[in-house]
Amino acid sequence: MSRVSVEAAPIAELTRSEPVPAVRARAIRAAYQLAGRPPLAVLDGIDLTVASGELVALLGPSGCGKSTLLRILAGVQLPSDGTVEIDGRPPAEARRAKALGLMLQEHALLPWRTALDNARLGLEVNRSSGSSATLAREALSGVGLTDFADYYPHQLSGGMRQRVALARTLALRPRLLLLDEPFAALDELTREELGWELTRLRTSIEATAVMVTHSVAEAVALADRVVVLSARPARVLAVVPVELPRPRAVDVEGTAEFARHVGEIKRLLRGGVETSQPRGSSDLLRERQRVPS
């Protein structure tokens, strides 16, 4: 299979179009301060630019700061330093305008509400109950839970609860989806199925997505670019463009190109070294992202 190489666009071209990126985070630092302890540095100067319509996966070792970064992008947590813009405005503003949908790792469903009523949670303001129910039903059907709309959380499996939480985020049809390990509680096959479904739904609502995952295969299968983070405090080790054609289907995982991407990313994760200089052996790595930063 031929190797596809993506070069950074020429400067002239970038300045001509200059679209506002969906996400622009610059020099993000974060630290936690617990009483009687030295500050815990979690994010160590993260730059991230996500173009409109892209799906970017954030991959990194457990505890490196992925969830922290996602909460900062969503504006529910402030960085110690650095700036974030979502479609050119502060994240809290984007969140209030329902321009971004956040699915947290600990996705609390309300135990006294059915799957359908949980899925329509974010929709109830400014919408008739009929239209919010329709959107919530569509989202539930998208995650394969049509038959479980009137089940309560305790009557659902862990994976089904996770799908309800995903449906709740999708039902808002935000321009930007921020998803924290959306498939973590699912078995391998459901995870794959839902991953493809997410890709389809995301394309149909024309949303941009930043998805945290710890699965290299999932990142490569779904993402346009994979941002590989170091151990805590997280730095960006590399940005790997996934050069697999779209639309992708499940059989992409059997291809040599897929294996090559997975191998390269695993090598980066194992080495934990920054690739500020591209390595001779690798043409997956690019110093510059495809969008202006």
Q: Which is nearer to Mg ion, 42 or 140 (CB)?
A: 42
**Is position 215 an interface residue for ligand ADP (rule: CB under 6 A)?**
no
Q: Which tokens belong to 263?
A: 């191998």
Q: Which long-range contacts (CB under 8 A, 24 or more apart) does 132-137 make?
A: 132/171, 135/171, 135/173, 136/167, 136/168, 136/171
Q: Which is nearer to ligand ADP, 211 or 291 (CB)?
A: 211
Q: Which is nearer to Mg ion, 86 or 212 (CB)?
A: 212
Among 67, 215, 230, 289, contact with Mg ion (rule: CB under 5 A): 67
Q: How far apart are CA 283 and CA 279, in angstroms?
A: 8
Partner that binds at residue 259, options Mg ion, ligand ADP, none, CB closer than 5 to 8 Å by kind: none
β-strand partners of 286: 239
Q: Which tokens belong to 165?
A: 């939480």
Strands (E), 91-204: 100-103, 176-180
Q: In angstroms, what is the minimal distance from the CB of 218 to ligand ADP?
A: 15
Q: In angstroms, what is the minimal distance from the CB of 107 to Mg ion?
A: 12
Q: In angstroms, what is the minimal distance from the CB of 4 to ligand ADP?
A: 30
Tell me how far CA of residue 167 lies from CA of 187, 240, 276, in angstroms: 18, 29, 39
**Is position 64 an interface residue for ligand ADP (rule: CB under 6 A)?**
yes
Query: Interface residues with ligand ADP (CB under 6 A)?
Result: 32, 34, 40, 42, 60, 62-68, 232
Query: Interface residues with Mg ion (CB under 5 A)?
Result: 66-67, 105
